[in-house]
Amino acid sequence: MTELVVYPAIEALVVAYLSARLAARGDRAVVATKVPNPRPDRLVRVSAAGGGNDRRILASRMVIIECWDLREPEAAQLAELCHALLLGAPRDPQEPRIRAAVTAGAPVNHPDPDTRHPRYQATVSLDVRGLLT
């Protein structure tokens, strides 16, 4: 039988990682893959945005993080914090699956067109380690 390499579901991995790291800092932001109704005042949405496999055990996965808050400075700071947390993930001994992180798009102002609430977003490319099965 052929040996397979199965990579972690990137959205679930990033949601769990950011949720834990934000909570450890006392941040009340909700981290999810969908916008709840009603939308929390402070929210981070994680979306898979592609990637590729050019190595056997490692694969590149891109994620977009969208960050809302009631005021623009807080939304910007949340995006910067999430961006920094993901860039630091490869050095986090508690998360061995994230092996490298590179900014594909730094945090930028991206107002929510439906609500006009402040929203910033960033895109990060993560190298994740798969498991042989």
- Extended beta strands in 3-118, E state: 5-6, 30-32, 43-52, 58-68, 98-109
Q: Is the Cβ–Cβ distance between 98 and 126 less than 8 Å?
A: yes
Strand partners, 65: 46, 122
pLDDT of residue 100: 97
> How much of the chain is in helix, strand and coil states, percent to nearest 5?
25, 40, 35
**How many of the other CB atoms lie within 10 Å of CB of 12?**
12
CA distance 133 to 48: 23
pTM of the model: 0.95
5-132 to CATH, choices 3.30.2000.10, 3.40.47.40, 3.90.180.10, 3.40.50.2300: 3.30.2000.10
pLDDT of residue 115: 82
Residues 6+ apart with CB under 8 A from 63: 10, 11, 14, 46, 47, 48, 49, 86, 123, 124, 126
pLDDT of residue 56: 82
pLDDT of residue 36: 94
Say whether 37 sits in a helix, a strand or coil: coil
Show pLDDT as tens, one digit a residue, over the chain (133 residues).
788 999 999 999 999 999 999 999 999 999 999 999 999 999 999 999 999 987 889 999 999 999 999 999 999 999 999 999 999 999 999 999 999 999 999 999 999 888 888 999 999 999 999 998 8
